[in-house]
Amino acid sequence: MTRGKVYLVGAGPGDPGLITVKGLECVKKADVIIYDNLVNKKFLDFAKRGAEIVFVGKMGGVHTLPQEKINALLLKKAKRGKVVARLKGGDPFIFGRGGEEAEALSAAGLSYEVVPGVTSAIAAPAYGGIPLTHRDYTASATFITGHEDPTKGEGRVSWDNVAASKGTIIFLMGMKNLDQNMARLIEMGRDPKTPVALIRWGTTTRQETVLGRLDTIVERAREKRLRPPVVAVVGEVVALRERLNWFETRPLFGKKVMVTRSAEQAGKFSALLEREGAEPYEFPTIATVPPPRWRELDDAIKHLSRYHWILFTSVNGVGGFFKRLEKSGRDLRELKGVNICAIGSSTARAVEKRGIKVDFTPREYRAEGVLKGLGRRGIKGKRFLLPRAVKAREIVPEEIERRGGKIDVVPTYRTVRPRGKVNGARRLLTDGEIDVVTFTSSSTVANFMAMFRKEEGAALLSGTRVACIGPITAETACGYGVVVDIMPETSTMEGLTEAMARFYTD
């Protein structure tokens, strides 16, 4: 039997962007992924189809599997010829027991590689605005475990040398013995007024930083009810945070934003929100599925040469049209001589990614803007194709017909209401844990309301801010008695994100 291989992968400190390229490659090719509690679950989305995923983390102080059984699991999978990605928070060789796992694999004669990761010991302070070394402050840094294994007997931290050093001290897993560790440093001669920072959930949108001194930080942590995971930083460099705090000062930092877009499209919006410091909560109220029948679209594709214009009103419309074009055995040559109108910059980009030039994108992303622009280019006597959702506003088709044009409206996709997550969303809204609920189309509003009991949806939204992508969506929300707080000048995901950022900074 072919022997497998184990990759001991450092998954980084929490921010999914901080895993290494090689680490992510290991995740993608693994037959088995074995991961800890502090590993960002987003990495599991990169697992190949059919990969076995095993959680072995510690939750609430209780190990899902003790270390000996984790070692045995690694050996078992590798001996069966599996490629194993052992995902560990931070770096596997910095208080991650990666050395113990490597020893077990080596003793068994199994193949393995160590893929270093960004440790929270350096990442959390960096995201907290604290450089661990600085030529005006210190030239050394010491990493210490916040709690030693009680089975070791005599402690292995040389407290007198650590305290006497003028360098920065970093405690990983720093909360359990915070009071004893701070007291030991003072006892061994470190100045009680030395600045201290406690950074919880470093590098994530949940990051929280508590400042104090050696003689006050324990009380400050109690006041803030700080809980693990925490990295503690002791040293004069902590004072630099006042000038270098870049991460927690972003406009949407700490705001929890509900994203109601479809699961397929939520990722891009969530990434924009995270860039501004928000914590997205994805609650899809809409899903895109094929139309009931393809007959109308297939017929239009067979006769594309008869159209003067194709009007694309959404990314979904673009995707559905070109998938069907390809399935019919045709290609882009069928569009020769046909003008393309794309409503919205995202829709235009979706068209242009396919190597097609967009001839007209209206400045105003609504029916009036479309008709105004087409009117200048001539509507009378022209034939238009509108691939869109099964149900949509009729203003554009009706107005084109009224102005002497001919338009074929063909269903390219339909939107449905997904199931699930309603109870979770209800709880978050009821408990006031959501700061902003976002709606990106009238369908997301209507479906949100339909997913809750009658009049419950509007009541839930009364306790939070509501952001709508444009006037049509806002009009729909107002029709349900919802107050719209935020609306961008440009009806795009980027525009909506910027409008939310302005709302919280102006």
Distance in angstroms (rounded) separating the CA atoms of residues 281 and 315: 22
28 an active-site residue?
A: no
Tokens of 270: 């969530």
DSSP assignment letter at 360: B
Q: Which residues of 307-358 form beta strands (DSSP E)?
A: 309-312, 339-342
β-bridge mates for residue 54, sequence order: 34
Distance in angstroms (rounded) separating the CA atoms of residues 327 and 325: 5
Other Cβ atoms closer than 10 A to 24:
17
36 an active-site residue?
A: yes
Sign of the Cα pseudo-torsion (239, 232, 205, 461, in order): negative
500 an active-site residue?
A: no
Q: Which residues of 260-395 form beta strands (DSSP E)?
A: 279-282, 287-289, 309-312, 339-342, 383-389
Catalytic residue among 36, 82, 175, 435: 36
Sign of the Cα pseudo-torsion (183, 186, 191, 196, in order): negative
Distance in angstroms (rounded) separating the CA atoms of residues 488 and 503: 10
Within a 13 Å sphere around the CA of 205, how many CA atoms are in the beta-carbon half? 22
**What are the helix (H) ranges across 386-484?**
395-402, 422-430, 442-450, 456-461, 471-479
Residues for the chain: how many in total? 506
Distance in angstroms (rounded) separating the CA atoms of residues 166 and 168: 7
Q: How far is CA 474 from the centre of its chain?
A: 25
Task: Let me know if 34 is exposed, middle or buried by CB neighbors in 10 A (0-12, 13-18, 19+).
Answer: buried
Catalytic residue among 58, 69, 76, 166: 58
Return the axis-axis angle of helices 315-327 and 345-352, rounded to nearest 10°.
20
Number of H helices, E strands in the chain: 19, 21
Catalytic residue among 173, 268, 298, 421: 173
Q: What are phi and psi of 103, to 5 degrees?
A: -60, -45
Distance in angstroms (rounded) separating the CA atoms of residues 78 and 462: 54
Active site residues: 36, 58, 173
